Amino acid sequence: MINYKIRVQYDGTRYKGWQRQKSIDQTIQGKIEVILKKQFGRDIEIDGSGRTDAGVHAMYQVANFRLHEAEAEHFGGEPEALTALLNAYLPEDIAVLETRIASERFHSRLNAVEKTYIYRIWNSGIPNVFDRKYVFQIEKKLDVEQMRQAAEPLLGTHDFAAFCGNAKMKKSTVRSIYEIRIETIGDEVRITYRGNGFLQNMVRILTGTLVEVGLGDRDAMSMTAILESKTRAQAGAMMPACGLTLWEVKYD
């Protein structure tokens, strides 16, 4: 078997997330798997580096799947030809940017060592017409300095149970955040999160909590107490999916 690693980019606006679902066909994984089945005549499961939520975008999602050598002959075996084959049938809001042959043991999720997410806030009373699908608008001016102070205690390795959207999470909720960078680019407030992994809805809840600080609704010094509580109710509201993009995935 040949293990193919693909880099995928998508506008998640009209999709129900990355993960395949039985009841609907509007998922990124589902769209790619349908094409593979039509081309090779069997069910081929692809593994993604993470399950982006409904409405979340990806600049750099990674996935892998395996083909028999005889199946690879269908497109000449070259990764570039497989890229072209997939893009010929994918909708215009999903694209395979690159295909590579990976080692037999490579797994896009299990081997990922670092992920970067970006949340974009349009901080203006005037809508951003052209980027409206990729930002969330907040009209009241945010206190970015207070948000930066609030982000400091979140850096490092912590139990992020308070920032997890899955109340029934049975696995470890300990994660490491290496960087939270909050920038102002014109009227945009852009928050970049870089860490070894993120829990379900974690980035959106972290952002919602920082936004509450920026709006003056929460003390910037409250983050440590929220972490220690391990209680979802202590953290802020979950931000809408439209402003979130999976930006990069790294491997050793």
- What's the pLDDT at 22? 82
- What's the pLDDT at 169? 84
Active site residues: 53
Phi, psi angles (nearest 5°) of residue 148: -65, -40
What are the chain's domains?
A: 2-102 (3.30.70.580), 114-251 (3.30.70.660)
Specify whether the CB–CB gap between 108 and 12 falls below 8 A: no
> Which amino acid does the sequence have at 224?
T
Q: Residues 6 or more apart from 174 whose CB is under 8 A from it?
A: 157, 158, 159, 160
Specify whether the CB–CB gap between 58 and 52 falls below 8 A: yes
Look at the pTM and tell me if it is higher than 0.75: yes
> Which amino acid does the sequence have at 49?
S
Specify whether the CB–CB gap between 202 and 175 falls below 8 A: yes
Determine the length of the chain.
252
Per-residue pLDDT of the chain (252 residues), as tens digits, is 999 999 999 999 999 999 998 878 899 999 999 999 999 999 999 999 999 999 999 999 999 999 999 999 989 989 999 999 999 999 999 999 999 999 999 999 999 999 999 999 999 999 999 999 999 999 999 999 999 999 999 999 999 999 999 988 889 999 999 999 999 999 999 999 999 999 999 999 999 999 999 999 999 999 999 999 999 999 999 999 999 999 999 998
Work out whether strand 47-48 and strand 57-67 pair parallel, antiparallel, or are unpaired.
Answer: antiparallel
The region, left, alpha or beta by phi > 0 then psi within -120 to 50, assigned to residue 239 is beta
